[in-house]
Amino acid sequence: MKKNALYFGIAALALLVVSCSKGHEIDTLDNQGRVTMIDPWTAIDQSQYKLPLVSGPKVSITAGFEENGETKTTMDVGTSSAKVLWTSGDKFTMYAWGGSGYYEIPFTTTGSGEKVDFSTIYGTPSVSPWHFIYGVTPDELSYDGDNMLFRINVPSDQVAVANKVKDNYLYSYAQATEGLSSNVCFKSMLAFVRFKMSGTIASSVTSVTLTGASALAGHSVLVPAADGTPQMSSSINFGGDVRSSTVTLDGPFAADTYYYFAVVPGTQSSFSLKFSGSAGSTTIISSKTVTFSRGIISDLGEISLGSAFKDPATPSMETIKWTSASAGATKPVTIAVVPDGFTASEMDKYEMLAKAAMNTLFSVEPFKSYKNYFNVYILKVASNASGANITDGNGNITTAVDCYFGSKWGESSYSDMRANDEKLFNYVIANCPDITSYHTIKEVPVLMIINDTRYGGRNWSYSTGEAYCMAPYTYSGGGMSWSYPAKEAKSDSDPAQGVQATPASRFAEVGSNTGNWLNTMVHEFGGHCFARLKDEYWYDTYKDAVEHIDTYEWTVPFGLNVSATYSDPGLDTDASAAGWQFLLDKKATLAASNPLYNRIGVYQGADVSILNRWRSERISCMIDNRFYFSTFQRYLIVKRIMSLAGETFENEAAFWAAFKAKDVPIDPVRDLAGSSVMGESDPVPPRPVPLLPPPGLVEVK
């Protein structure tokens, strides 16, 4: 297929949206990394289920591309208009499920033009829908009675072509549901990222690598929407899938010329570009979040490389100040980020992931609205080896890895997940500037990003205030999903009524959250480490409250979001100081200003106990890792921010007025369908991961 130039306006990160017709578009944060967990989706054995082709009358269909021709098989850049032109010999494949197996029927054309007839000499099935795929042959496919899914491989090694995407990277999809005589509209599956270089060394560049915090290439699953829109999901796995967070373009290159990556659509909380040549390399790390959307060109603009490659043989270990407090408070609120298991040559990767983590944390309320209160420092220290220690699940190391802070946990167990606390805190004391200026280590929560692909995540908190969170780069950013528990209390007020299977209406009410390691990070660091919140999920097998240290009575309170009584929601302490009864009293007024506040209540189940513990809302980040803290959780987080910032208020009413003025009660999973935030429900049942253990609590006598 061939086409003329594309019509668009270009600016830095300008986007061109394309569509045949307006429809719901999934824009998830996709994933990568080798995934060993398996969905309900099992790859079909093609040799067993592929139905034989039979001769039949010649069938023709008319095929074109999205209106105005914005989705192209060839991207020629430089003119102000565009047309799609098929050429003789072009072909695509039709797939359909035939009850006992699937059909795979080739169509070809001898015509040329914007819309042409494609035909096949084989008999066509009377079933529907029909799926048409151009430009790629699926590796695997699956069918469950409702959905036909296709595993598509996006190459992580691509070839640079001046001013266009190489033709064989332009995968497209179409669907027909009303018969093969209807017109077929192809739509692009992938997103496109373009850039150009300037500087005297531009022509010396031999490869350019784009690296993200989540999937850019490798296996992704095509999930066709009812309207024929291709959705590329990396939360669905056939087993053995490999996903990559990098895409490399191999040159040669020239200055002042556009080059394109073809990538899996998704949101990147940070990304980097590495320009390599025989004389060295230069890496540029973005501090912004960007969404690469299906059928859209994201223009990174012109990148000046100067006259020499800039990356030194020994990477810089200087601390990076990611953001500076500008709220005018008495003190900044300080966060320290540290690496473990990253070698010196992997510091760029760590820096990109650290920025991705902070971009994500400060996209979640109330951290987003209070970002100007924070100083965030990205500290650097190299390990002698990549990864973390592997244990037997009981703390005994079975595979040793020379990582700087000694991070360790089991292959499939997480309760023994821990690092060398003393070494970690001493390192932060010595290298975080605010500890000498404003705070002690007791007031600086630490986020540790671990260069290990195993599932995990845990917070450790001391009764004297020190806290750190361990957040591994699970599955190299690979897909995870969480859901509301399968059982719940029959009554929110009466534990004696016992438990029941969670009704389907409840799952529909709260929605389903999908994401990756960044969701775990927000729960473990934002929820436990910074805000000192307890978990609000529960185990199905626990019917009575599990005894824990009364952490809310520590010198440094922990777990004020969970109540031990229904009648006095706020633990066993003074409700005016700790409980959310005041929110119940204000509920009618709050709901009048925004009906989302109607979610406030008293719900049984929290602190890993299905009975005899209560929480303030049905669902939150502390249950399924969605990017939503409940109203009371947000209130406690803002209290913590103000305390660390040294801010005082005349009375509680003054604080409440300040809090309410900035509060945002939106849950992305339930309230922003179709948005680009991570957490949108997957189009098919997501792959679940096990719950992580409650925070580790160290009581200092």
Q: Residues 255, 392: one domain?
A: no
Predicted local distance difference test score (pLDDT) of residue 692: 87
Look-up of token digits 């000192």: 532
pLDDT at residue 76 tops 50 = no
pLDDT at residue 576 tops 60 = no
Count of alpha carbons within 13 angstroms of residue 461, beta-carbon side: 28
Predicted local distance difference test score (pLDDT) of residue 673: 60
Look-up of token digits 């850049």: 77
Is residue 521 within 8 A of residue 459, CB to CB? The reply is: no
Look-up of token digits 């001769």: 55
Q: Residues 43, 159: one domain?
A: yes
Q: Residues 133, 247: one domain?
A: yes
Predicted local distance difference test score (pLDDT) of residue 47: 54
Is residue 489 within 8 A of residue 497, CB to CB? The reply is: yes
The percent of residues above 90 in pLDDT, for the chain, comes to: 53
pLDDT at residue 247 tops 80 = yes
Of 304, 337, 371, at which residue does a domain stop? 304
In a domain, 395, yes or no: yes
* Structural domain count of the chain: 2
Query: If we measure between CA atoms, which residue out of 400, 430, 395, 388 comes closest to residue 413?
Result: 395
Q: Residues 381, 474: one domain?
A: yes
Of 261, 279, 304, at which residue does a domain stop? 304
pLDDT at residue 57 tops 70 = no
Q: Report the distance separating Cα 180 and Cα 192, nearest Å.
A: 31
Is residue 259 within 8 A of residue 229, CB to CB? The reply is: no
Is residue 188 within 8 A of residue 172, CB to CB? The reply is: yes
In a domain, 21, yes or no: no
Q: Residues 324, 229: one domain?
A: no
Per-residue pLDDT reduced to its tens digit, 378-435: 999 999 999 999 999 999 999 999 999 999 999 888 889 999 999 999 999 999 999 9
- Amino acid (one-letter) located at 654: A
Which of the four pLDDT bands, split at 50, 70 and 90, describes residue 481? confident
Q: Residues 168, 243: one domain?
A: yes
Which of the four pLDDT bands, split at 50, 70 and 90, describes residue 21? very low
Q: How large is the average pLDDT for residues 287-306? A: 89
Query: If we measure between CA atoms, which residue out of 450, 425, 422, 453 comes closest to residue 439?
Result: 425
User: Which of these ranges, 320-324, 574-578, 627-631, has the smallest mean pLDDT?
Assistant: 574-578
pLDDT at residue 574 tops 80 = no
* CA separation, residue 171 to residues 189, 277, 298 (Å): 6, 30, 17
Higher pLDDT, 15 or 510: 510
Per-residue pLDDT reduced to its tens digit, 150-206: 989 999 999 999 988 777 788 889 888 776 666 788 888 898 899 999 999 999 999
Q: Report the distance separating Cα 233 and Cα 27, nearest Å.
A: 9
Predicted local distance difference test score (pLDDT) of residue 347: 94
Mean per-residue pLDDT of the chain: 83
H/E stretch holding 424 = helix 421-431
Highest mean predicted confidence (pLDDT) among 44-48, 77-81, 429-433, 452-456: 429-433
Which of the four pLDDT bands, split at 50, 70 and 90, describes residue 62? low
pTM for this predicted structure:
0.84
Q: Report the distance separating Cα 117 and Cα 212, nearest Å.
A: 40
pLDDT at residue 636 tops 80 = yes
Look-up of token digits 């921010």: 641
Q: Report the distance separating Cα 581 and Cα 163, nearest Å.
A: 62
The domain in which residue 648 lies consists of: 320-499+512-532+621-698
Look-up of token digits 């509680």: 652
pLDDT at residue 74 tops 70 = no
In a domain, 564, yes or no: no
Q: Residues 324, 290: one domain?
A: no
Per-residue pLDDT reduced to its tens digit, 641-658: 999 999 999 999 999 999
In a domain, 224, yes or no: yes
Phi, psi angle pair for 476, to nearest 5°: 55, 40
CATH code (residue 462): 3.40.390
User: Which of these ranges, 107-111, 346-350, 384-388, 544-548, has the smallest mean pLDDT?
Assistant: 544-548
Which of the four pLDDT bands, split at 50, 70 and 90, describes residue 436? confident
Q: How large is the average pLDDT for residues 254-274? A: 93
